[in-house]
Amino acid sequence: MNDTFLKACRGEKTSYTPVWIMRQAGRYLPEYQKVRSKVDFLTLCKTPELAAEVSIQPVDILKVDAAILFSDILIPVEAMGMKLEFSEAKGPILYDPIRNDVAVSRLRSIKAVEDVPFVMDAVKLLVKKLNVPLIGFSGAPFTLATYMIEGGGSRNFTNTKRMMYQTPELFGALMDKITDTVIDYLQAQIDAGVDAVQIFDSWAGVLSPVDFEAYALKYVQRIVSALKGKAPVIYFALNGSAMLRLVRKAGADVFGVDWRIDMADAVNALGGDAAVQGNLDPCTLFGKKELIRERVKGVLHGAQGAKGHIFNLGHGILPETPVENAVALVEAVHELSSR
Amino acid sequence: MNDTFLKACRGEKTSYTPVWIMRQAGRYLPEYQKVRSKVDFLTLCKTPELAAEVSIQPVDILKVDAAILFSDILIPVEAMGMKLEFSEAKGPILYDPIRNDVAVSRLRSIKAVEDVPFVMDAVKLLVKKLNVPLIGFSGAPFTLATYMIEGGGSRNFTNTKRMMYQTPELFGALMDKITDTVIDYLQAQIDAGVDAVQIFDSWAGVLSPVDFEAYALKYVQRIVSALKGKAPVIYFALNGSAMLRLVRKAGADVFGVDWRIDMADAVNALGGDAAVQGNLDPCTLFGKKELIRERVKGVLHGAQGAKGHIFNLGHGILPETPVENAVALVEAVHELSSR
């Protein structure tokens, strides 16, 4: 078992910088496309054998130091009682968006082992086969709330913010229910065998710092506290790079960093208590191999002062990315960081 | 003439904090909708009397301390030789996107006085009627380049970044042409009578700091240098709040700040040489008046250490915003900042 990734999560010394790639199991890989061509996206998420198969692909092909479970952050939301659909054009659609207290009270806090057993089954299959650690994950409460309130993606998140500002108790009740679900969901993944968990706060960056502190942060803190000591927790607040001194209050073991900040500035803002993960611009993989190497060097250098560093992109790998450049990235990280 | 706004641009003392609102001439105003219902968007931009009329509306209705010319950042791009269309569903469309050297060489650097005379005519009408300063504007070269390369809006800007990374000379040639156009365009607006200019870098935030410095910053610096001493220049790099120490190198008189950063942190990162503009979350205007006042207080307090402060939202006002809340915002800024 290659445990370099886990050592870096804990801030222990490693002989090189471990690397994995957000969305590494995904559309840029022909091997993924082949599996996906036979089933729709939700079926892929819900079929343990197939989810496990595509989760392993990038470990074999790219030689990354960790696998991440193939799934979607809205899986537990569906289990809470919302009708979920993935549209090729529009992305996720959640029917009957949550806008009032009746809708909130109808939602269930899930028991993941019973309600989404296929996730735990995929985890169990994976841990038998993998020779690298497996990362489980969940959306963060605020991010899940935006999908539930908006009914899908959004441009300005006005429904979410209206609820926050105009009926803060209702918003709080929704966030509490989601938080209970996320804790149960991540705990179940850990019980099934994942080695670490990542909390994706993909829409944290639509909040001003004052709103992030008032409406989002404490729920992440509750999740981190509940899981403390059970498995390393990575918290990734996308587009939150201008408020990292607040983000660090989440208390995670590792903080994901997007590509909008110089890594040295991020390390400085996050302080010395946590490891960092990131932060190459995914589009760098459209450049030549020399550019990729040069930029990898820059990120490695910027992270030198961190307690630990897990190399990653600053956002998910893009569907059009040439696979050979993703391979070159992993090679460059391993080679250039060898100590 | 109320020159509070201009004093703040220059970092001089003012008896209260001046305020204007990005997109203040726009869809949230019934008076604007009335004018717009008679003509399409581009015709409105190109008809000096109508453009002037909608530019004045928010000054009368909201009592803001500056007007901004009603126009669109793609107006000079059309004049450079691209076919432009505004689709209700998709936003701006630029036909035959710029992807190779033939396309770049075909583009003209414009003479604004001859090529977009309606802009200067609107300015001349406005300066006769206004009792507050008039702000002219342009898109920044990188932002305009993204529209020209992508052919409109984009999610990941992969075509732009591909050109940047794979054919940097071609990208540079395009940026040079755009920069020449922007300088001529802003100079013509100043000659026609605008009192200050804002450079909107709406997509600067898709660049990592290292790319911003390599591919975007120097062109803004060239524009700022060319206009130095002619009129105050405001530079707004949207979603660039995590790299303000780089952004400040643009050398502008005022820096716009989006809502993703605490204003005190922004002032700190920008240093003491420039004034700041911003940075209330536009969605705050969906809250109650007490919330608006409280958040205005926070921004005013955060900006205390700045050389000068112009209050604004951290992005354009949203179409669904209640007008009375925009009025309440301006009142709150004036009252709470009175010295």
Dump pLDDT digits (tens) for B293-318: 999 999 999 999 999 999 999 999 99
Dump pLDDT digits (tens) for A154-167: 999 999 999 999 99
We report the CATH number of the domain holding residue B151 as 3.20.20.210
Could you list the residue range(s) of the whole structural domain that residue A27 is in? Answer: 4-336
Residues of chain B found within 8 Å of residue A208, distances taken between Cβ atoms: 259-260, 281, 314
CB contact under 8 A, B314 and A211: no
Dump pLDDT digits (tens) for B209-238: 999 999 999 999 999 999 999 999 999 999
Tell me the catalytic residues of B.
23, 27, 36, 72, 147
Would you call B279 exposed, middle or buried from its count of C-beta atoms within 10 A (0-12, 13-18, 19+)? buried
Percent of chain A scored above 70 by pLDDT? 100
Q: How confident is the model at residue B272 (pLDDT cuts 50, 70, 90)?
A: confident
Whether residue B191 has pLDDT greater than 90 = yes
Which of B243, B261, B288 comes nearest A243 by C-beta?
Answer: B261
What CA–CA distance (Å, rounded) separates B285 from B333? 13
What CA–CA distance (Å, rounded) separates A251 from A270? 10
Which of B205, B242, B286 comes nearest A158 by C-beta?
Answer: B286
Mean pLDDT of chain B: 97
Whether residue B274 has pLDDT greater than 90 = yes
Q: Kindly provide the b/e burial profile for residues A50-68, where b requires at least 16 CB atoms within 10 angstroms of the residue's own CB.
A: bbbbbbbbbbebbebbbbb
Q: Say whether residue A228 is in contact with chain B using an 8 A CB cutoff.
A: no
Dump pLDDT digits (tens) for B1-58: 999 999 999 999 999 999 999 999 999 999 999 999 999 999 999 999 999 999 999 9
Name which of B317, B5, B207 is nearest B220 in CA terms.
Answer: B207
Average pLDDT over residues A118-141: 98
What CA–CA distance (Å, rounded) separates A220 from A200? 10
Whether residue A33 has pLDDT greater than 90 = yes
Residue B188 confidence (pLDDT): 98
Q: Yes or no: say if B277 and B310 are a contact pair by the CB < 8 Å rule.
A: yes
Which of B208, B245, B261 comes nearest A259 by C-beta?
Answer: B208
| Bond into B279 cis (ω within 30) | yes
What CA–CA distance (Å, rounded) separates B146 from A16? 37
Whether residue B88 has pLDDT greater than 90 = no
Between the alpha carbon of residue B79 and those of residues A320, B50, B108, the distances in Å are 33, 20, 8
CB atoms within 10 A of CB A141: 27
Nearest 5°: CA angle at A154, between A103 and A82?
Answer: 30
Would you call B31 exposed, middle or buried from its count of C-beta atoms within 10 A (0-12, 13-18, 19+)? middle
Length of chain B (residues): 339
Strands B134-139 and B91-94: unpaired
Average pLDDT over residues A208-227: 98
pTM metric for this prediction: 0.97
Q: How confident is the model at residue A88 (pLDDT cuts 50, 70, 90)?
A: confident
What CA–CA distance (Å, rounded) separates A143 from A256? 15
Could you tell me which chain A residue has the CA closest to the CA of B168? A287
The number of distinct structural domains making up chain B is 1
What CA–CA distance (Å, rounded) separates A201 from B320? 26
Average pLDDT over residues B109-136: 97
Residues of chain A found within 8 Å of residue B287, distances taken between Cβ atoms: 161, 165-166
Residue B253 confidence (pLDDT): 98
Q: How confident is the model at residue A339 (pLDDT cuts 50, 70, 90)?
A: confident
The residues, any chain, with a CB within 8 Å of residue A143's CB and separated by 6 or more, are: A73, A200, A201, A202, A203, A204
Q: Is A36 a catalytic residue?
A: yes
Q: Is A162 a catalytic residue?
A: no
Length of chain A (residues): 339
Restricting to A residues 76-115, those with a Cβ less than 8 Å away from any Cβ of B are none
- Nearest C-alpha of chain B: how many angstroms from A316? 11
